[in-house]
Structure 1
Amino acid sequence: MTYEELVKKALEARKLAYTPYSHHAVGAALLAANGDVYLGCNIENAGYTPTNCAERTAVFKAVSEGVRNFTAIAIVGGPDNAEHLPICAPCGVCRQVLNEFVDPDSFDVILGTDDPANCKIFKLSELLPLGFGPKNMSFLEDYNK
């Protein structure tokens, strides 16, 4: 799957966003190593804290189906009524969740717009420098012996 196709899938997912409060709809398309794509949209809640971002929705869907190996994610977001969508980067919590399941130096984060050919690509490690992940928990191996 090309990254342009992945951005198109993120645009499709964005249409399903539930954003009655912020009116900022986001869609994500997570590419698994096996070629499957998991879509996610942001889902708001009046209590704000229970709100879930599109990226985490996609990751949680995949992980809940037993998939834990990913190569890329495309993210598209912006105001509901925007004529053109700007680049929309993942929040810190989503960056951390992605970091749990990927190699941040090889995982691509595609930040798309309403034009699937116009995107910016980053490695997760660029968006989350010095990220805390499973490798940081290796000290627990000594405790589990």
Structure 2
Amino acid sequence: MALKRMDHTGIVVDDLPAAIGFFTALGMELVGQAPVSGEWADRLTALEGLRADIAMLRTPDGNSQVELSVIHSPKATAPAPWEPVSTPGIPRLAFVVDDVDEAIEQLRPHGAELVGEIAQYEDYVRYGYVRGPAGVIIGLIQELG
């Protein structure tokens, strides 16, 4: 077996249009949307009667994608985890941006909440975490120099 590449990261959200708005405000491109259901989807997810809508978004360089899904049925049995960054298994995505302050201001109208503070590591990066759709932690990295 040889790993070829990472294809995408998937996130289940409550509000698909709002999540699309968040990631397009970040600078991602909406590639497409589709409903998902049927026997193949049930087998893949081990969920009987899966009915979902998905959207695929791509980074400007074309190398990374995010799949956003809203699951209509079956309904989730628990809410999304809103745990601290230190919690094992908590999803965290990171994106390189031109200006971390500007990126946060563009994302605030889409529900972004700063987790801690924007911190600078030497002369290398400025880095901040925000909560994105469904509480997913989004790292925003500004490369310096």
Q: Say yes or no: TM over 0.5.
A: no
Compute the TM-score of the two structures, normalised by the length of structure 1. 0.29
Structure with the larger RCO, 1 or 2 (CA within 8 Å, 6+ apart): 2
- Higher helix proportion: 1
Highest Rg: 1 or 2?
A: 2
- Higher strand proportion: 2
